[in-house]
Amino acid sequence: MSIEALNLIEVLINGLMAGVMYALVALGFVLIFKSSGIFNYAQGVMALFAAMTLVGLQTGQVPFAHLLNAITGMHVTHFGWNMPSGLAILLTLGVMVGLAFLVERLVLKHLVNQEPIILFMATIGLAFFLEGFGDLMWTAEIKQLDVGLPGGLSEWFEGASMALADPEAGYWGMYVDKLDVTAAVVAALLVISLTLFSQYTRAGRALRAVADDHQAALSVGISLRFIWVMVWSIAGLVALVAGIMWGSKTGVQTSLSLIALKALPVLMLGGFTSIPGAIVGGLIIGAGEKLFEYFVTSDAFHGLTGFNIDATENWFAYVLALLFLVFRPQGLFGDRIIERV
């Protein structure tokens, strides 16, 4: 196989892997939108908050240390332990469930029957609050996240792909990040688990009932408040997974919340109400943006057009999503909404 073809395949594979990372964030949005019609603006910040909490617990950081020290005159920063990653993840999950409970109790409960835009605005407020609260609790410094996930170049894959080229060609093999492969496996497990949960458990069926029709679900005795806590807890779990994957890649820092920007075109393309749609949308966006960048930055394109174009990924993802919307306004897998007027 020619090196050009192998390069193209490498870009495609990496694009698909990047797409999985976007889909991990998009999943949280879908879960909440599907069950309550709320576009949760705070999903990116939830991923950041989960990752900060995880690192804080792992490294034994004293929460609100700055505040405590300023008020009491003490100088405490760490408890002095290093918690095993598994335990820290479980405790972080507990914190995210607690957060879901508080969100329902303090925000959503008071906004039942309000317009979706009101609920959306509430999540904007929640995002700002949570970002500041996270900073206050765990500080805004960059933190190293290591939960033992494999990372870096897969030498096995590099060696195996090297054999696809002519030995004389001097091809150095394809690059795949082991962390991206791990993320793909985790995302697949997550989607399977969520699908099984919603199809085969009582709580899952209740969730689908609420998603289909709030009023009808309430009339048969399903507790809307319980469903909301449950769904925000699951979204917290998804945020934790996304936070771990992205945090392992870039470190845990305040800009991690901006990964939500990468999830928006995925949602537009895959549909706001479909779990498989988030995955497929992520794959299309990831592969599409990487291939487009590869194409427009190539010497061939430059020679043909005379243009120097780069950094296309951010806008191209949205253009691609908009193109799909022209033909399927509800996204590839979203529910078609027909309203009588």
Q: Could you tell me where the DSSP H helices lie in the chain?
A: 3-36, 43-58, 65-72, 85-106, 116-138, 155-162, 178-200, 202-212, 214-219, 224-250, 260-270, 275-296, 299-305, 313-327
Least Å distance, CB 171 to another protein, is 10
| Interface with another protein (CB under 8 A), residue from 85, 182, 253, 330 | 253
Q: Does 250 bind another protein (CB under 8 A)?
A: yes
Task: Give the count of residues interacting with another protein (CB under 8 A).
Answer: 53
Q: Which of 95, 84, 89 is nearest to 137 (CA)?
A: 95
Q: Which 8-state DSSP code applies to residue 153?
A: B
Q: Does 142 bind another protein (CB under 8 A)?
A: yes
How would you write 125-137 as a 3-class SS string? HHHHHHHHHHHHH
**Which residue's CB is nearer to another protein, number 240 or number 259?**
259
| Interface with another protein (CB under 8 A), residue from 79, 111, 124, 141 | 141
**Which residue's CB is nearer to another protein, number 113 or number 308?**
308
Take residue 233 and report the two structure tokens written for it: 């807890």
**Any residues with CB less than 8 A from the CB of 255 and at least 6 apart, and which?**
none
Q: Are 273 and 30 in contact (CB under 8 A)?
A: yes
| Interface with another protein (CB under 8 A), residue from 151, 182, 197, 226 | 151
How far, in Å, CA of 30 to CA of 280, rounded? 13
| Interface with another protein (CB under 8 A), residue from 293, 321, 331, 334 | 293
CB-based burial, 4-14: b 16+ in 10 Å, e otherwise? eebeeebbebb
| Interface with another protein (CB under 8 A), residue from 59, 63, 66, 164 | 66
| Interface with another protein (CB under 8 A), residue from 94, 203, 204, 313 | 313
Integer-rounded Cα Rg, in Å, for the chain is 22
**Which residue's CB is nearer to another protein, number 33 or number 41?**
41
Q: Does 145 bind another protein (CB under 8 A)?
A: yes
Q: Which of 316, 270, 267, 308 is nearest to 291 (CA)?
A: 316
| Interface with another protein (CB under 8 A), residue from 35, 123, 161, 257 | 257
**Which residue's CB is nearer to another protein, number 154 or number 273?**
154
Q: Does 320 bind another protein (CB under 8 A)?
A: no
**Which residue's CB is nearer to another protein, number 132 or number 159?**
132
Q: Does 64 bind another protein (CB under 8 A)?
A: no
**Any residues with CB less than 8 A from the CB of 323 and at least 6 apart, and which?**
none
Take residue 112 and report the two structure tokens written for it: 């039942």
Residues at the interface with another protein (CB under 8 A): 7, 10-11, 14-15, 17-18, 21, 65-66, 69, 73, 75, 77, 131-132, 135, 139-146, 151-153, 172, 175, 177, 246, 249-251, 253-259, 262, 289-290, 293-294, 297, 308, 310-311, 313-314
